[in-house]
Structure 1
Amino acid sequence: MLCTANRCRSPIAAALLAGLLGDVPAVSSAGFLEPGLPVPPEGVAALPACAPELAAHRSRRVDAAALTAAGLVVTMERAHVRDAAVLAPACWPRTFPLVDLAARVQRVGGRLPGEGLRAYAARLHEGRRLDSVLRGSAADDVADPMGQSGAAYVRTAEELRRLLEPVAAALRPR
């Protein structure tokens, strides 16, 4: 999971997806800004079931090695796809904005028996172009609640859960 600062959306999304998937595959989060910062109290409170995990989280800065190693990179905004691809060009075919990914898994279906995560990402990527990802609207991004009320964090957590449920179902190996 990848967002701007790795303090709100991506740690909440990673906690939600890890819970939906269980132990397979490993889920982590990172961002592009300063490392070592906590999730704001409103973010921790927005997801009570994951509060201890979110309270312990400290922001991490993404690097090219992590992007290259990831089987799938899920971003909170379309612009994060571009930023990831600039940092590690090889990750582009495996990097999707969450809103787009949720729509793609609905169209393409889930992982096939024996299909690895990279192969599944390649199927999801078929026919995509970077310029088409970047041309979307703000509705294609998960809103950043940073600096807003607790209610904004709850809305973001609810949106993330709604988007991640079909993604988790599609990612589970059959």
Structure 2
Amino acid sequence: MRHEFSDVLNDLVDYFLLGDIQMLERFKHENQLPDDLARAFTSTDSGDQAVAEGVVVPLAGVDNLPYHILFTLDGTTPALLEPGSRLKHRRNGYVLHVQHRAVMLYTWRILQHFTNKTLGDLLARYQVPGRPIIELDNGWYDVEVLAGALIRDGLYEPAFEFVLTKRWSRGEAKQVDTGYAFSLRGYFD
């Protein structure tokens, strides 16, 4: 099964985050982090801890472009591995823990003022069709991140694809390079 979303923007910040955002709220409270999670994640090891514990999958170095976002499940062949697609980045080793039956792609800006109100506002905006959020069974998932270009309407368009595979036990992302740059500029022309 595959879910696809078009024209997803990164809010002019070179970063995307993937995860169960309500798990991030719990992580914030359990670790007594401030509302400015962006600062906490960049000035302490809490960001690395959130990645290791499966709270978020970080994507740094994301160019300011409109993207196709794909979530691929159930052993379906990833679109970026199909003939005609152009794969530039392929990274595995990520894990996600889902406890609220949803995984979403969101931007760095939410971390700058991560309060109950801003979280509620974001969740409300994601109820509109076309937002990069999918329903998913609770549990642990291995995540492989693919980035490159897909042909859509006869043109190459930049894309990120998240291949999610259910795990039957707790996972931990220990060998992940959180600063790896997923730049695609000029690759799909």
Range class of TM-score, shorter chain: under 0.3
- What TM-score results when the alignment is normalised by the length of structure 2? 0.26
| Higher normalized contact order (CA 8 Å, seq sep 6+, divided by chain length) | 2
Higher strand share: 2
